[in-house]
């Protein structure tokens, strides 16, 4: 007997109810999703319209910065010292060149491309966008431009582009004052980014590296402009929409007198050393020369490794600015200031006389400190001690005063600290004291150290600029003007003079002491180099030992290496009645100051005081 079949009964009412619920749920989901879509569309199209329109334009419009032309630099008389010259470069668009290596080989047959240039180009190409031009060679000559122009049809994607580059027409004569511009490197970029200035250099390849070019970079650089380009989705330019021209950098006028600067360069030719000239009436630097020098134009487009290595390893150190960084024992050039302190502290008077037998001894000590004149000067007072540069007088004076009062007084004249000159390359020199020696060497200060300081030797070092600045204070009877190079600034509207900064004067207990010391310096000049001059001058010479000489040993320059020979120094000013120029001359290893640096000082003062019609000689 077969089993019974189960009969299934459908509940149509329940199924219809379930279908309705599901349909209703689906309908509400669709409505909710459509509502969200409409709401989002409203937000995009209405509420956020401006925001997205701006973003769209930013993607469609590219802003390309335009570099400003750099400000020019002139001397005090309007002679152009740093200019912008047009130059030509060879640029390639990589994507338009099928075979780069073969193209470079063919191009090299027409225009000389050095291995360094090719290597630098190949390296830069790795990180460069292929549709943008890349420079292969800078500073094309007119002949090279002409040769390429004739053959340009053979090299699609390669063009000659024109631009402006910095040029220094007086080459090495002003290097240590003007400095130079060079390519912006990683360190420069990091510094600009820290100062939030990088956006102003987006189109600029050069930046001031040394001297005035670096110190006044913010004035000389200018403000970049920009052009707006419409581009496609691959970044290629479709058309130019707008151009905002850049604002050129401001022109600056320096206090330098090019005629005097060129005379100083001529006088130091073949010598290592420095000449600094200052106008004591306002602190303006008339001449600042460091010898030997170098051509700053080498650095503008990038100096090659060999030339830079040669400069770096040159034993004469041309890269050092001796005027502001050279540190020399001031020797006898500071004796007038020490005598001024002695008078003001009443350690001596105008009429005090000291017997000089040719040496001086610390009381109770056997050692003898020799005078430069072995048989001595006999009886000397403050006038004859300065005129004859009597060491014995100043040994005694330093012993009476002590090193710390000397250091404090000399600091008022700028020794041991920055002068405030408007270039960054400056050394402070060293003004020694008891505390300085303890901190530097952890040693006690000895009386013998004070004796050396009394004649400007020992631990005391100064730069030529410090010597000139201190002498200007002396000539001004205590008035102090920090040395500076900026005279005025010129933009599109006006020429504005730089304000003169005067520091509080040095006040003596007896102001007449200024007159005594300056009179002694006048007598020094009249007795030595200015007997026949048509103007009155004041001066003090100095001879600084580079190495020590044993007590009973006679110095013989012919028996020692040249770099161990004495340095020759002179400080001077003129005219005596109303000083207009102050000089400091330092000649390394030249020997006796009066005999070697003295004629240079006379020639410089003659050049300034007796000048006639003059034209600059590039």
Provide the annotated binding site for Zn(2+): 356, 371, 377, 390
452 in active site: no
Q: How far apart are CA 393 and CA 50, in angstroms?
A: 86
**Going by DSSP bridges, is the β-strand pair 225-231/495-497 parallel, antiparallel, or unpaired?**
unpaired
Provide the phi-psi class of 456: left if phi over 0, else alpha when psi is between -120 and 50, else beta.
Answer: left
**Going by DSSP bridges, is the β-strand pair 80-92/359-360 parallel, antiparallel, or unpaired?**
unpaired
- Beta-bridge partners for 541: 570
485 to 262, 278, 282: CA distances (angstroms): 16, 10, 11
Cα angle for residues 157, 92, 300 (degrees, 5° grid): 150
Give phi and psi for 279, each to the nearest 5.
Answer: -85, 110
Q: How far apart are CA 209 and CA 231, in angstroms?
A: 36
Strands (E), 390-510: 486-490, 495-497
Structure-block tokens of residue 465: 């600029």
Helix (H, G, I), strand (E, B) or coil at 599: helix
Structure-block tokens of residue 9: 């009964």
Q: How far apart are CA 603 and CA 338, in angstroms?
A: 27
**DSSP-assigned letters across all residues of 261-291:** HHHHHHHTTTS-EEEEEEETTTTEEEEEEEE
Q: How far apart are CA 554 and CA 549, in angstroms?
A: 8
| Set 332, 389, 469, 528: catalytic member | 332
Nearest CA among 554, 526, 558 for reference residue 540: 526
Q: How far apart are CA 350 and CA 142, in angstroms?
A: 71
Nearest CA among 398, 399, 528 for reference residue 456: 398
Max CA pair span of the chain? 163
Q: How far apart are CA 5 and CA 37, in angstroms?
A: 54
Q: How far apart are CA 305 and CA 313, in angstroms?
A: 12
Residues whose CB falls within 8 Å of the CB of residue 444, separated by 6 or more in sequence, listed in order: 434, 437, 438
Q: How far apart are CA 212 and CA 365, in angstroms?
A: 52
- Beta-bridge partners for 225: 66
Residues whose CB falls within 8 Å of the CB of residue 452, separated by 6 or more in sequence, listed in order: 458, 459, 460
Helix (H, G, I), strand (E, B) or coil at 88: strand
Q: What is the CA radius of gyration of the chain?
A: 37
* Active-site annotation, residues: 332
């Amino acid at each position: 007997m077969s089993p019974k079949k189960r009969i299934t009964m459908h509940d149509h009412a329940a199924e219809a109810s379930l279908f309705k619920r599901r349909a209703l749920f689906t309908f509400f989901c669709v409505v909710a999703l459509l509502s969200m879509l409409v709401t989002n569309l409203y937000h995009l199209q209405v509420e956020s319209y401006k925001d997205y329109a701006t973003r769209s334009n930013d993607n469609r419009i590219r802003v390309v910065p335009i570099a400003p032309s750099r400000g020019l630099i002139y001397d005090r008389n309007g002679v152009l010292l740093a200019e912008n010259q047009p130059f030509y470069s060879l640029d390639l668009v990589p994507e338009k060149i099928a075979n780069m290596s073969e193209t470079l080989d063919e191009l090299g047959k027409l225009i000389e491309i050095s291995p360094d240039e090719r290597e630098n180009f190949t390296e830069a190409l790795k990180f460069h966008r292929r549709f943008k031009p890349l420079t292969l060679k800078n500073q094309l000559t007119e002949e090279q431009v002409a040769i390429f122009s004739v053959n340009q049809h053979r090299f699609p994607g390669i063009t000659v582009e024109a631009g402006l580059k910095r040029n220094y027409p007086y080459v090495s004569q002003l290097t240590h004052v003007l400095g130079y511009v060079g390519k912006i490197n990683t360190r420069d970029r990091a510094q600009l980014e820290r100062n939030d200035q990088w956006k102003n250099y987006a189109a600029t390849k050069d930046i001031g590296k040394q001297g005035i070019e670096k110190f006044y970079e913010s004035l000389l650089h200018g403000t970049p402009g920009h052009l707006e380009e419409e581009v496609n989705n691959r970044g290629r330019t479709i058309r130019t929409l707008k151009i905002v021209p850049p604002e050129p950098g401001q022109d600056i006028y320096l206090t330098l007198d090019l005629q005097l600067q060129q005379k100083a360069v001529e006088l130091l030719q073949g010598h290592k050393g420095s000449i600094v000239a200052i106008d004591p009436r306002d602190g303006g630097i008339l001449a600042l020369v460091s010898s030997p020098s170098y051509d700053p134009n080498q650095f503008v487009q990038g100096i090659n490794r060999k030339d830079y290595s040669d400069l770096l390893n040159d034993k004469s150190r041309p890269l050092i600015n001796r005027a502001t960084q050279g540190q020399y024992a001031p020797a006898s050039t500071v004796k007038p200031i020490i005598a001024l302190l002695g008078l003001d502290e009443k350690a001596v008077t105008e009429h005090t006389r000291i017997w000089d037998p040719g040496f001086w001894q610390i009381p109770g000590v056997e050692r003898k400190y020799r005078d430069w004149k072995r048989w001595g000067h006999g009886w000397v007072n403050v006038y004859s001690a300065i005129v004859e540069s009597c060491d014995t007088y100043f040994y005694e004076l330093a012993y009476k005063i002590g090193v710390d009062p000397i250091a404090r007084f000399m600091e008022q004249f700028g020794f041991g600290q920055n002068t405030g000159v408007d270039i960054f390359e400056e050394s402070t020199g060293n003004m020694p004291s008891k505390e300085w020696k303890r901190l530097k060497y952890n040693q006690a200060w000895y009386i013998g150290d004070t004796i050396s300081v009394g004649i400007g030797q020992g631990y005391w070092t100064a730069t030529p600029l410090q010597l000139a600045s201190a002498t200007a204070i002396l000539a001004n009877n205590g008035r102090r003007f920090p040395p500076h190079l900026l005279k005025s600034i010129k933009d599109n509207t006006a020429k504005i003079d730089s304000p003169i900064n005067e520091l509080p004067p040095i006040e003596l207990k007896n102001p007449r002491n200024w007159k005594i010391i300056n009179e002694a310096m006048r007598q020094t000049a009249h007795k030595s180099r200015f007997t026949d001059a048509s103007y009155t001058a004041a001066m003090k010479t100095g001879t600084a030992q580079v190495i020590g000489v044993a007590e009973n040993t006679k110095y013989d320059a012919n028996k020692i290496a040249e770099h161990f020979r004495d340095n020759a120094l002179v400080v001077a000013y003129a005219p005596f009645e109303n000083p207009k120029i102050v000089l400091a001359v330092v000649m390394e290893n030249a020997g006796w100051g009066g005999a070697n640096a003295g004629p240079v000082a006379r020639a410089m003062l003659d050049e300034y005081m007796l000048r006639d019609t003059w034209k600059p000689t590039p």
